Amino acid sequence: MQITATQLEQVNKQILALVAAGSFYGKKLEDAGISGVSSQEEFEKLPFSEKNDLREAYPLGLMTAPEEKIVRIHSSSGTTGLPVIIPYTAKDVDDWAIMFKRCYEMAGITNMDRIQVTPGYGLWTAGIGFQNGAEKLGAMVIPMGPGNTDKQLQMMMDMKSTVLCSTSSYALLLAEEIEKRGIQEQIHLKKGVIGSERWGEKMRKRISEELGIELYDIYGLTEIYGPGIGISCKEDTGMHYWDDYIYIEIVDPVTLKPIPDGELGEVVITTLVKEGAPLIRYRTHDLSRIIPGECACGSRFPRLDTIMGRSDDMMKIKGVNVFPSQIEEVLKEFPEVSSEYQIRISHLDGKDTMRLYVETNGSVDFMDLAKRIAGTVKSRIGFTPLVKVVELGLLPRSEKKSKRVIDERYE
Ligand SMILES: [Zn+2]
């Protein structure tokens, strides 16, 4: 995506602020003798920033605005080592809500909707982001947070919630509970705004059909405001993102060279107007591509494709590079398996082995199904997994991010 003159001007302001604050990135720029950029070429020479840089800045090393302007912090859940702390000014909080309001509007949600927010509240950016955007829109928020499915469903019925904000795995869990309890008639949901994890077409179809709702994918990460920097539209051809707040480029995850629109690579984000903690060329490790051309919905905002996985999810099996999304693509061709699956990679007798667990109901021949799936993986991706077919409902469902890939080689 070509950077515009306005965006370059905005980047230069971010650079000035970072240098003045003497933050880690400001120092990087000073060391490289850079005080501004005037072209795409110069922009693409700016150093990247990484989660590790952000961790090293713990606790408040990212703070770029004066203390009196900081109104809040958020933190990304670090499973390893130090968390990342992102300071926000009042303008950052407001900008985020404006972006999120646009997301709801893109999904056709109005101030007459009742929005049930199930992502968590607290240090992370999920629940409060969904809430602030909904309040900016003027909708009624039902701030549930995660878990407590009984109460969740009770409020959904009593409040006649029309919009569900959720992770895909929790939406699936709710859909299954609603079916099990036979309460479909008392549910008034029309739309789902689903964020924070990658999900397959199959799971999407199941949630959409069982709840009878339209689904919208929302994109975002704590380091860059939080969820709400982009969302899919009714055409469902990728997610529009707000290029007056962020600039997105796609780079090759190995060479780090920018790659053309339309091709798959790692998403790199630059904030354009952030005050509390601006980030330049932040490597998200999300895999996607810019979708070229105009969207049929008429929106002028550019599009990022559905996130295909993480660049660090790349598995190397018997010398072949594999992404979980490729396995998912194969499973889509088998209507007899459910949307749940699990990949376990181990090192057995000197060889890398992938065991692929899938679920089905009792009506098919498990051995035959396993053989057909293994054969398709071999012909599409180039190696043969050990496929294990289990009864429907045996694979773990989670209220948090599903952990679908378990690499036992490093445990
Ligand atoms: Zn569109």
Convert the pLDDT of each residue in 191-204 to its tens digit: 999 985 667 777 88
- The predicted structure's pLDDT at residue 196: 57
How many C-beta atoms surround the C-beta of residue 335 within 10 A? 8
Q: What is the mean pLDDT of the chain?
A: 92
Q: Give me ligand 1 centre to Cα 300, in Å.
A: 8
Share of the chain above pLDDT 90, in %: 75
- The predicted structure's pLDDT at residue 346: 87
With a cut of 90, say whether residue 270 has pLDDT above it: yes
Share of the chain above pLDDT 70, in %: 96
What distance in Å separates the CA atoms of residue 87 and residue 277, rounded to the nearest whole number? Answer: 6
With a cut of 60, say whether residue 179 has pLDDT above it: yes
Global confidence as pTM = 0.82
Q: Give me ligand 1 centre to Cα 19, in Å.
A: 37
Q: Give me ligand 1 centre to Cα 290, in Å.
A: 13
What does the pLDDT average to over 381-396?
91
What does the pLDDT average to over 85-104?
98
Q: Which two tokens stand for residue 53?
A: 């840089």
Q: Give me ligand 1 centre to Cα 212, in Å.
A: 22
SS3 285: strand
Q: Give me ligand 1 centre to Cα 235, in Å.
A: 6
Helices (H), 147-192: 149-158, 168-181
What does the pLDDT average to over 65-73?
97
Q: Give me ligand 1 centre to Cα 231, in Å.
A: 9
* Per-residue pLDDT tens over the stretch 106-118: 999 999 999 999 9
Phi, psi for residue 394 in degrees, rounded to 5: -85, -25
CA 228 to chain centre: 10
- The predicted structure's pLDDT at residue 410: 59
Q: Give me ligand 1 centre to Cα 296, in Å.
A: 6
As residues whose CB is below 5 A from the ion ligand 1, the structure lists: 233, 235, 295, 297, 299
